[in-house]
Structure 1
């Protein structure tokens, strides 16, 4: 379990993490989301003792990270896959880590096989692709068979097979009763992997709830409706403040009314409806609504080139 209480981190006049409190429980995958600069990496670094908090407290499995006699057996973390001696082989890197905790070489071989590193285990890490480096980082995190696993962007650089493997891995770890804390920018993957979400923005907790509640709590209900008389149905619903968008001649997307209300309006106005499908909001939509005011750097559309620009020949 990870327990943070009023955790804060300041760099001079800048507050990176602003007195946040949360608990990451065992037996589930907890996702950690937030825009760039929101404080995610700083928070993870404080959990494993790489950064000292300016205030508050954070404990893993009941203790500060530095108080654990054998931290690799308590907490496995992937925070920076590049933090490896590039002239060492993957096998020697893991064996050196294992030696600091009395972990047998048989366990080194286990995590190498588990992460698919077997064919490159004796090769220098400096020649690894981004994806293979991620696999090595995950192998290192699992080396001590820890109770708590912290992974920062673990699918970065992985191919589809690797992404699916990470998904099954973290779910399997959680099913064994371990604490799994996972960050990712891939909303589609987080939606498939996480059971619970903690969302941070500008150093503060924006949301801390099961993923289903976060998705359900953002935005209004939307429904796809097919009818031979869309105009009549639009007029009937507009009187109640419901918004509609016509996608095709007989297809509407209706926002702000559930299926029962739409069906009642159609019946009252004798409008034949031959499709009535509720649409679930995506995690990406919920995330964008939650963090809209917490994004530090906003992108803007590029100005369009004047007509004919680029058609002139150079001299």
Structure 2
């Protein structure tokens, strides 16, 4: 279990983390989300004792990280996959770590096989691809068979098979009763991996709830409506128009409607004699819910690309003359 109470971290007079408290429970995968500069990395570094809090405290399995006599056996972490001695082989990197905790060679071989490093275990780490470096970092995090696992962007650089492997690994660790805390910028992956989410913005906790609760509370429920013709779609659009109702035409005869229940859509179609071929409630995506939550917390906003697209189109037209 990870417990943070009133955590504050200030760098040069600027607060990076502002009085946050949360608990990461064992037996579930907890995702840690937030825009760039939100305080995620700072929080993870404080959990691992790499940065001292300005105020507050954080414990892992009941103690601050630095007070554990054998920390690798309590908590394993991947925070920076590049933090390795590049001239060593993967095997010797793990053996050196294992030696600090009296961990035997068998465990080193076990995590090498578990993470798919068997074929490259004796190669220099400096020649590893980004994905293989991530696998080595995960192997190091699992070396002490810890009760708590912290992974920062674990799927970075991995191919689809590797992404699926990390997802399965995280869920299997949680199923064993371990505490699993991971961050990722891939909302689609987080929606398939995490049970619970902690969302941070500008150094403050803005959500701490299950994935479903966040989807229900912030996601925009929609319904896909397919009619038999464009004329039917136009007629139904007029029938459904009203306060709080949003209707988007996706293609001829296909609408996406929000702000009204599917039953009411069906009733309106029946009353106006519009043939409906499909009426499908759509699950709001985690990405939509996340963007809604963090809309006011993003430090840097991208500009509108429409002007760029217009300029490109104009330039292409001019070149063709």
The aligned residue for residue 15 of structure 1 is 15
Q: Does 1:277 align with 2:280?
A: yes
Q: Secondary structure at the match of 1:53?
A: coil
How many residues are aligned here? 312
The aligned residue for residue 136 of structure 2 is 136
Q: Residues 11, 278 of structure 1: CA spacing in aligned structure 2 closer, same or farther, 3 A cutoff?
A: same
- Normalized against structure 1, the TM-score is what? 0.95
Q: Secondary structure at the match of 1:226?
A: strand
The aligned residue for residue 179 of structure 2 is 179
* Unaligned ranges ≥5, structure 2: none
Q: Is the 8 A contact 2:155 2:162 kept in 1?
A: yes
- Normalized against structure 2, the TM-score is what? 0.93
The aligned residue for residue 76 of structure 1 is 76
The aligned residue for residue 127 of structure 1 is 127
Q: Residues 219, 158 of structure 1: CA spacing in aligned structure 2 closer, same or farther, 3 A cutoff?
A: closer
The aligned residue for residue 302 of structure 2 is 299
* Two-structure CA RMSD over aligned residues (Å): 1.7
Q: Residues 275, 309 of structure 1: CA spacing in aligned structure 2 closer, same or farther, 3 A cutoff?
A: closer
Give the CA deviation at 1:309. Answer: 7.4
Task: Supply the distance in 2 between the matched residues of 1:267 and 1:96 (Cα, whole angstroms).
Answer: 72
Task: Supply the distance in 2 between the matched residues of 1:241 and 1:85 (Cα, whole angstroms).
Answer: 58
Task: Supply the distance in 1 between the matched residues of 2:243 and 2:84 (Cα, whole angstroms).
Answer: 61
Task: Supply the distance in 1 between the matched residues of 2:113 and 2:317 (Cα, whole angstroms).
Answer: 54
Give the CA deviation at 1:289. Answer: 0.8
The aligned residue for residue 246 of structure 2 is 243
Q: Is the 8 A contact 2:219 2:286 kept in 1?
A: no
The aligned residue for residue 155 of structure 2 is 155
| CA deviation vs aligned residue, 1:237-280 (integer Å, no higher than 9, x gap) | 21454221222232111110111121222233343322111111
The structure with the largest helix share of the pair is: 2
Task: Supply the distance in 2 between the matched residues of 1:50 and 1:210 (Cα, whole angstroms).
Answer: 29
Q: Secondary structure at the match of 1:41?
A: helix
| CA deviation vs aligned residue, 1:35-54 (integer Å, no higher than 9, x gap) | 11110010000001000001
The aligned residue for residue 254 of structure 1 is 257
| CA deviation vs aligned residue, 1:6-47 (integer Å, no higher than 9, x gap) | 111110221111111111000010011111111001000000
* Unaligned ranges ≥5, structure 1: none
Larger deviation, residues 226-235 vs 116-125: 226-235
Task: Supply the distance in 2 between the matched residues of 1:241 and 1:102 (Cα, whole angstroms).
Answer: 63
The partner residue of 2:292 within 289, 298, 306 is 289
Give the CA deviation at 1:122. Answer: 1.2
